[in-house]
A and B are shown apart, each in its own frame.
Chain A
Amino acid sequence: MRKNKLVALALGAFALTSLTQCFTKKKDEGKHLYETHCQSCHMEDGSGLKGLIPPLAKADYLQTHRDELPCLIRQGMAGSIVVNGVEYNKEMPGVESLREDHITNLLNYIQTNFGNKNERYTMQEVERLMQACPKAP
């Protein structure tokens, strides 16, 4: 049946891409992490998706909730929030595997790209903020 052929094709492609992943260079960690974990939703230019996914580009939230961002990335978020005057309410998954140094680089990438010119984080600051992350229920 055709279905099996489709699945086989997809699986073959999957194996191939896993292989090529091993050769990606470790360069520009913040950007790389963004492309890996965030870009699929927040888009290449940080613009988000209409009323579904909030923008990171010129988002007031990045400044008004600066201290919460490290925990937000690791733990994700849900519930209604307002970004640049627009209401959003959709779940964002966290990325538990990210270490403090990863999160620092990632946040600094976001805070200084997409038209943002916000204050950078130090690794110590991120470590301190993450000690206060709300405990998972």
Chain B
Amino acid sequence: MNKRNKLSLKSGFAVAAFALVATSFYGCDSQGGSSANTLPIYGEREPVERTVDGKTVTDTIYHQIPDFAFVDQDSQRVTQETVAGKIYVTDFFFTTCPTICPKMKSQMLRVYEAYKENPDVLLLSHSIDPTHDTVAVLRDYADRLGIETQKWHLLTGDKDSIYDMAMQYLVPAQADGGAEGGFTHGGHFILMDGQRRIRGIYDGTKPESVDKLIDDIPLLLNEKKDEKK
């Protein structure tokens, strides 16, 4: 019994573990102080040396999500172009998930409501059961959630590509016959900046954590404004 609780707890631990892993990467960087109004950049980073005017300068290459191509509930192609220059929040779910997904979706709806009017913020939810979650299934799910495609894309596509993406976003996901619903996955919400870099990792099943996400988004929006200046 009690499998459901286990699963969500498990993901809670996983979130903690990831935050730890992520912050340890982050911790290696001397200049990356997260002051009150900037967000860290998560993931592995690489110093790259180049020569400018005979002097060696070191640039840091941050972990960036690679190009991708999926299809949403309106059969539209969604790619890196769709999110170019936008801030987006992403997660992994499946429509028949009996465990943590309903909670995640109710929390994602809060993010949706908060940034509904802001064209610079998008939401991308990947199905980890794309064989079942066809465009038609996602269409019905979106209608019942009452969401607009332009703001919140529910994605399906090639299964391996979706699982690879989960890894890129540092979210654990795998097919698991023993798990309820047939899959296990983390309940994380990942906050991405306009350059497809991970800037925040939140627990999408916890209202407090999602409050923080909602509060953190303006920090990235401000960064964007500064870049434009």
Contacts and interface: CB of A to CB of B under 8 A. Distances in A.
* Genuine A/B complex: yes
Interface of A: 2-3, 6-7, 9-10, 12-14, 16-18, 21, 35-37, 40-41, 43, 49-53, 91, 93, 97
A40 B103 contact: yes
A85 B212 CA distance: 35
Chain B: number of interface residues, binned into ranges? 20 to 34
Contact of B102 (A16, A35, A52): A52
A2 B18 CA distance: 12
Contacts of B136: none
B194 interface: no
Contact of A51 (B17, B103, B146, B174): B146
A3 B106 contact: no
Interface in B14-72: 14, 17-18
B195 interface: no
A43 B4 CA distance: 13
Given A14-B6, A17-B6, A52-B145, A6 B1 contact: no
Interface stretch (B76-84, B93-101, B148-156): B93-101
9 contacts: A10-B186, A16-B13, A17-B6, A35-B5, A36-B2, A40-B103, A51-B146, A52-B145, A97-B1
B110 interface: no
Contact of A7 (B6, B145, B174): B174
B66 to A, nearest CB: 14
Contacts of A2: 167
Contacts of B1: 36, 97
B164 to A, nearest CB: 10
Smallest CB-CB A-B distances: 3 pairs: A13-B13, A51-B144, A17-B9
A10 B172 contact: yes
B167 to A, nearest CB: 6
A40 B102 contact: yes
Given A3-B167, A17-B9, A21-B6, A93 B98 contact: yes
Task: Give the most central of B102, B146, B186: most A CB within 10 Å.
Answer: B102
B13 A49 contact: no
What secondary structure prevails in chain B residues at the interface with A?
Answer: helix
Given A36-B1, A50-B145, A91 B103 contact: no
Contacts of B158: none
Contacts of A3: 167
A6 B18 CA distance: 9
B183 interface: no
Nearest to B97: A40
Given A35-B5, A50-B146, 19 more contacts: A9-B17, A10-B172, A10-B184, A10-B186, A13-B13, A13-B17, A14-B6, A17-B10, A18-B6, A36-B4, A37-B4, A41-B102, A43-B106, A49-B106, A50-B145, A51-B145, A51-B146, A52-B102, A91-B96
Contacts of A40: 4, 8, 98-100, 102-103
A16 B204 CA distance: 21
A26 B17 CA distance: 30
Contacts of B144: 50-52
B194 to A, nearest CB: 25
A52 B5 CA distance: 21
B215 interface: no
